[in-house]
Structure formats: C-alpha cells, structure tokens
Amino acid sequence: MTIILMRHGKPDHPVTGRVSARALADWCEGYDQADVCDLPPPRSLAIARMATVIATSPLPRARSSLLRLGLQAQEVDAVFSEVAIPTLPFDRLHLPLTVWLALLRLLWLCGYAGHVESVQHARARARQAADKLVALSQHGTVLLVGHGIMNKLIARELRKRGWQAEKHASSRHWSSAIYHRPFI
C-alpha cells in the first residue's frame, strides 16, 4: 500500500509587490481561485501515473493540477484543502507579499489564527485526511494532489502511524512525498 502526496503546480497569481495586511485578504482570495500556469515535470507525471486512486481538494489550483497531469479525481474533499493564512486588520503597514505570508504563517504556527482555522483544528483535519487516504489505499496506490502545509500535516500523521517515507516532500510546486504502509 502506497500513498503519494503531491503539491499542486504554480498558481497563476502574482506573489510580488507590497501590500497592507488588509489587502492581503483580497490577495488570498484570488490565490484560492487561481488555476495553475505551469506544466508538471516528467518526474511528477511518472509518479502520478503510478496511482490507481486519485484524490484532491476542491480548490482550483489542485483541480487544475490534476488536469495538467491528465488525471481525474475519484475523491474530491475539502478535508484536503490548504490551511488559510490568518490576516491582520492593519492598513498603514505595507510589506512585501512574501514577508506577510512568512510572518503570518509563523504567527499561525505560534497560535494566532484570527478568523481562520487554528493549528489544532488543522492537525485534527489532517488526521481525518490521513484516515481517508489510508482507507483509499485499500484499493491501490493513492495520489493526493493537495497543498503545501496540509500535505506536511498529513505526512506527519502518516509517519506517526508508522508509514515509511520513500521520498519526503519539499515545498516546491509539483513536489511529492511517497509513503509505504509498515509491514509489521
């Protein structure tokens, strides 16, 4: 039994410029509606074709990544969706977008969630996602085309359950992690 966690392709949404914290909320909304703008590398295509069961989140960047892979999902579930970035109600401070994203993700990891899902809730959702993927793996090799943070949380949960990593994921677009069920 094998579970492959693959990150979506590069979203067709700019990650440049300086914005206020309040404007970041609009940027995040656009990011969540973006399709991907690149093609998967040959290695990702080969890894994806090993799967017999395909799962994805409902977000457009994940769904359009599947189309770029030439695959169709049998399982589309919000449990696999990315964890939202919390925002702050500041208008005066303008920072580069990448700085906001890193700072707010760090604040989220430290416990600040604002109006989005908390770390604890995201970890619980990752447990549910891992349960679903393990159940799907009873039918063959599973490919999840998902998202960076949620894939990492799911991977952590699989390792806790004894699944062995053949390949760990990076945070790059189209990266994948491959997990095998323990033999014991």
Q: What is the average pLDDT across 157-181?
A: 90
Nearest to 44 by CA among 182, 181, 167: 167
State yes or no: pLDDT of 168 exceeds 90. Answer: no
Q: What is the average pLDDT across 24-29?
A: 91
pLDDT at 151: 96
DSSP for residue 94: E
- The CATH number for 64's domain is 3.40.50.1240
pTM above 0.85, yes or no: yes
DSSP for residue 19: E
> CB burial class (10 A; 0-12, 13-18, 19+) of residue 60?
middle
pLDDT at 167: 74
What gap in Å lies between CA 144 and CA 36, rounded to an integer? 16
Q: Which domain holds residue 134?
A: 2-180
Split into its structural domains, the chain has a count of 1
* 3 state DSSP class of 86: coil
**In the chain, pLDDT over 70 holds for what percent of residues?**
99
Strands 142-146 and 2-7: parallel
Q: With cut-offs at 50, 70 and 90, classify the pLDDT of residue 184.
A: low
What gap in Å lies between CA 73 and CA 145, rounded to an integer? 9
Which is more confidently placed, 115 or 55? 55
pLDDT at 15: 83
CB neighbour burial string for 151-164, b if at least 16 within 10 angstroms, e if fewer: bbbbbebbeeeebe
Strands 18-20 and 75-76: unpaired
Q: pLDDT tens digits, residue range 92-135?
A: 889 999 999 999 999 999 999 989 999 999 999 999 999 999 99
